[in-house]
Structure 1
């Protein structure tokens, strides 16, 4: 074995996963075969190589940096990301989230380091130690994967693909594709091709199974904000405020009941600027909790007398994420101490008054959610809510607009919580809910939440006793919370049902 970060992966355990073709480890590590020069996902159907011929890598970029090419059979880059990034929330994991959003392409390594709170040199050392590659190599691997998907699934010209994927030139795009996939863009396009409209990109977002897509849709439909979001039978759509212009995404959410495999969520993006493809895809992945390992989460609860029965009824339940952290925080404050229906109505009025109108092809999508700067300039006395909450909302928006509170997945969770609690009108429930939804925290529990208490009482449990023992659900308390809320939320009748 090499002396790289790959040695942090236990070779014996990794090899057992490869021999059993265990799909749960797809995206967690990658197998590189010295004799072929190819790297694969653990579940690759090809003949298992001999143990002395393989090395294991914590990222696709690490395998590429070691000189290996992606397997054309198992497409190792088309996997969910590692769930460990959300559990540990290390600086490396936070940086990976920002790289996936395209921050390196837009702001360079300096911008990435500034968001994470390190010097560029220290961040490069940290990422190399943890993931086997520095930020430039990790960003390059992400660009290559986006380019491959666009080449294979759209009719975009190769120049458009290059810039949509974040490459600085067509030559750089061609060279990278050849090096990573041992194929030209023309070769890749020959495998699979679909017809798409100008500005429209249809992709498949990989998720681990089981995947309770219909219950995720129910949650999103229950909280839909007029103008920004729309729902229908089997689908959810919303506007996106992206770095280079507006866009929309339409997700088709269905259940995948198999276990330990990879399924796909269909996502149709309409973008004002194709350079926003990477950012749009990553934000949609956050929304559907694409990197979750549902088998590990569900296994944690199976023996639990409270959550275990709920898991057996609804395996693969996800924690809905977000496409914009600032929006999530604002919506959370609006929803304080009011019903979900009331919060939707008030938020819709604020969207109409302060959001940016946009033209879309999806009926009902008419506005971008108001920016933090726009809400920071609002008169709290005129907002359709109690004055104290209006002042809290404007104060939060000012902190978001100034950068005093950052919800871009790059900030330290504990620091964000401390900053939010320092703001007038922001309490622990709000700060923790924002951590769960906006920062992807998998281990949040809300002991004072009335919904939690009602759910436990409805299930025949003593709420106080169960809440006192909630620590036994670590590190997946956010999923326990979702299972409890799920018992209170019937499937909603959608237009067209």
Structure 2
């Protein structure tokens, strides 16, 4: 077990406290509240599928990141900056609020908030399967059981572990969830769910790649791209709560594409800010 510590400069608005408060209430994996200002989490490295412990603290515009594990800790550190959106140059993000007063209100309500969600596209895809036609609390319970029974050191189970558990009949889940989870695991092992690659693809190509995975539809593709890769400029098109929030906040009939034009190049961020407001 080794440690690696580094300091990463964050460009643009950022508050770890705001991000942590949001993540502590993120239903798929509620983080325990802590008395300090740091964020602590355990995740599965998508570079070598080893468990990693991470601690992140903030000093003005600097993130101090400490990772502990047995695998490639440099790659694990890069993953931390990606799933916390610390690798994004957000100096132009306030300008979106200058163009849109609703987004400006969201920015004021969530100062320094950077979208953070799943540790990887693989975990987001697994959640999409677990939560399909299932209430969120039930899906979260299924996820915790997977970690307890098949995970390592509190991290989500590696793709090969999930696939073996399904093929040997040791994974009991409702309906076709085992079949769909096995397909997700195969895609992760084949590199199809690599977060960085998905983020760099053109939007339609990324969606098509994801929808080719058995069990993943349009909603899952949006979830993975926005909350699994933390892409900044993907517009979610199948999120009913987001659409309802847009209707409530704007009170006008406009096409989603027309409304979101002013959000570029941060359409994902604007959408997540609105969803965060709806949950507040």
Q: TM-score if structure 2 supplies the norm length?
A: 0.81
Q: Deviations over 1:379-399 (max 9, x none)?
A: 388756531344322222222
Distance change in 2, residues 1:461/1:448 (3 Å): farther
CA distance in 2 between partners of 1:384 and 1:438 (Å):
25
Partner in structure 2 of residue 392 of structure 1: 180
Is the contact between residue 421 and residue 427 of structure 1 (CA under 8 Å) also seen in structure 2? yes
Query: Secondary structure of the residue that 2:279 maps to in structure 1?
Result: coil
Determine if contact 1:406/1:416 at 8 Å carries over to the other structure.
Answer: no
- The one of 126, 143, 160 aligned to 1:373: 160
Partner of 1:270: 68
**1:231 Cα deviation after fit:** 4.2
Matched, 1:232 2:34: yes
Aligned equivalents of 2:97 and 2:11: distance in 1? Answer: 18
Query: In structure 1, what is the equivalent of residue 269 of structure 2?
Result: 479
* Match runs of 1:55-94 below 5 Å: none
Computing the radius of gyration from Cα coordinates, the structure with the larger value is 1
Higher relative contact order (CA 8 A, sep 6+): 2
SS in 2 for 1:317: coil
Q: 1:296 Cα shift?
A: 0.4
Corresponding position: 1:461 with 2:254: no
Q: Cα 1:450–1:264, aligned 2, differ >3 Å: closer, same or farther?
A: same
Q: Which residue is equivalent to 1:251?
A: 56
> Partner of 1:329 in structure 2?
125
Report whether the alignment pairs 1:203 with 2:3. Answer: no
**Aligned-residue offset at 1:466:** 5.8
Is 1:218 the counterpart of 2:21? The answer is yes
Residue 279 of structure 2 is matched in structure 1 by: 489
For residues 476 and 244 of structure 1, what CA distance do their matches in structure 2 show?
30
Task: Decide which of 259, 268, 271 is 1:470's aligned counterpart.
Answer: 259
Unaligned regions of 5+ residues in structure 1, if any? 1-197, 257-262, 359-366, 491-497
CA deviations 1:40-77 (Å, max 9, x no partner) are: xxxxxxxxxxxxxxxxxxxxxxxxxxxxxxxxxxxxxx
* Residue 450 to residue 339, structure 1, CA distance change in 2 (3 Å): farther
Contact 1:223–1:340, Cα closer than 8 Å, also in 2: no
CA–CA distance in structure 2, aligned partners of residues 422 and 222 of structure 1 = 31
C-alpha distance 348-245 of structure 1, shift in aligned 2 (>3 A): closer
Between the aligned partners of 1:251 and 1:394, the Cα distance in structure 2 is 32
Q: Between Structure 1 and Structure 2, how many residues are aligned?
A: 272
Does 2:102 align with 1:306? yes
In structure 2, the partner of 1:74 is none
* Aligned-residue RMSD, C-alpha: 3.1
Superposition deviation, residue 452 in structure 1: 0.5
CA distance 1:423–1:217, change in 2 (3 Å) = same
Shift of 1:205: 2.5
CA contact (8 A) 2:16 2:58 kept: yes
199 and 320 in structure 1: CA distance in 2 versus 1, 3 angstrom threshold: same
1:300, distance to aligned residue in structure 2 (A): 2.4
Structure 2 CA distance for partners of 1:270 and 1:425, relative to 1, 3 Å: closer
Alignment TM-score, normalising by the size of structure 1: 0.48
Q: Would the alpha carbon gap of residues 418 and 453 (structure 1) be closer, same or farther in structure 2, given more than 3 Å must change?
A: closer
C-alpha separation between the residues in 2 aligned to 1:249 and 1:326?
Answer: 18
Please say if 1:432 is aligned against 2:235: no
Q: How far off is 1:470 after superposition?
A: 3.4
The equivalent of 1:407 in structure 2 is 194
Is the contact between residue 57 and residue 65 of structure 2 (CA under 8 Å) also seen in structure 1?
yes
| 2:81 counterpart residue number | 285
The Cα offsets for residues 265-285 of structure 1, whole Å up to 9 and x where unpaired, read as 232322336xx3311221111
**Structure 1 pair 296/339, CA: closer, same or farther in 2 (3 Å)?**
farther
Aligned residue in 1 for 2:210: 420
In the superposition, relative to structure 1, how do residues 385 and 392 fare at CA in structure 2: closer, same or farther (>3 Å)?
Answer: same
